[in-house]
Amino acid sequence: MGANMARRLKDRKFQVTAVYDSNRKVATELAGELGCAAAQDLSEVTAESDAIFTVVTDDNAMRQIFSGSGDNLLKNGRGKLFINCATISPQVHVDVEKLAQNAGAESLEACMASSITQAREGKLCLMCGGNEKAFRKAEPVLKELAASVRFIGKAGEAAKVKALVNMVMNINTAGLAEGLLPLARATKEQYERMIAEGLGELDKSGIAELTFKDRYKSRDGGSDRV
What average pLDDT does the segment 150-170 reach?
93
pLDDT, residue 222, reads 44
What average pLDDT does the segment 149-172 reach?
93
pLDDT, residue 218, reads 46
Q: Determine phi and psi for 208, rounding to 5 degrees.
A: -65, -25
β 106-112/124-130 pair status: antiparallel
The per-residue pLDDT for range 101-136, each reduced to its tens digit, is 999 999 999 999 888 999 999 999 999 999 999 999
What average pLDDT does the segment 57-69 reach?
96
SS3 letters across 203-217: CHHHHHHHCCCCCCC
Alpha helix ranges (H) inside the chain: 2-11, 24-34, 42-48, 59-67, 90-102, 116-121, 132-145, 157-196
The per-residue pLDDT for range 20-55, each reduced to its tens digit, is 999 999 999 999 999 999 999 999 999 999 999 999
Measuring CA to CA, which residue among 40, 54, 43, 47 is closest to residue 17?
47
Confidence band of 148 (pLDDT split at 50, 70, 90): very high
pLDDT, residue 216, reads 55
pLDDT, residue 219, reads 42
How far is 183 from 172, CA to CA, in rounded Å? 16
The per-residue pLDDT for range 195-221, each reduced to its tens digit, is 888 888 888 777 888 877 665 554 444
What is the residue-averaged pLDDT of the chain? Answer: 91
Q: Which residue did the predictor score with more confidence, 139 or 207?
A: 139
What average pLDDT does the segment 92-98 reach?
98
CB atoms within 10 A of CB 24: 11
How far is 3 from 215, CA to CA, in rounded Å? 58
Residue 215's identity, in one-letter code, is R
Q: Determine phi and psi for 109, rounding to 5 degrees.
A: -90, 135
Q: pTM for the complete prediction?
A: 0.79
pLDDT, residue 149, reads 97
Cα angle, residue 10 at apex, residues 20 and 15 outer, rounded to 5°: 75
Q: Tell me how long the chain is.
A: 226
- CB 17 within 8 Å of CB 80: no
pLDDT, residue 220, reads 45
Whether residue 180 has pLDDT greater than 50: yes
Q: Determine phi and psi for 58, rounding to 5 degrees.
A: -160, 180
Phi-psi region of 35 (alpha: psi -120 to 50; beta: other; left: phi over 0): left
- How far are the Cα atoms of 43, 61, 96, 143 from residue 74, in angstroms, in the given order? 7, 14, 10, 25
How far is 148 from 153, CA to CA, in rounded Å? 16
Measuring CA to CA, which residue among 29, 42, 39 is closest to residue 3?
29
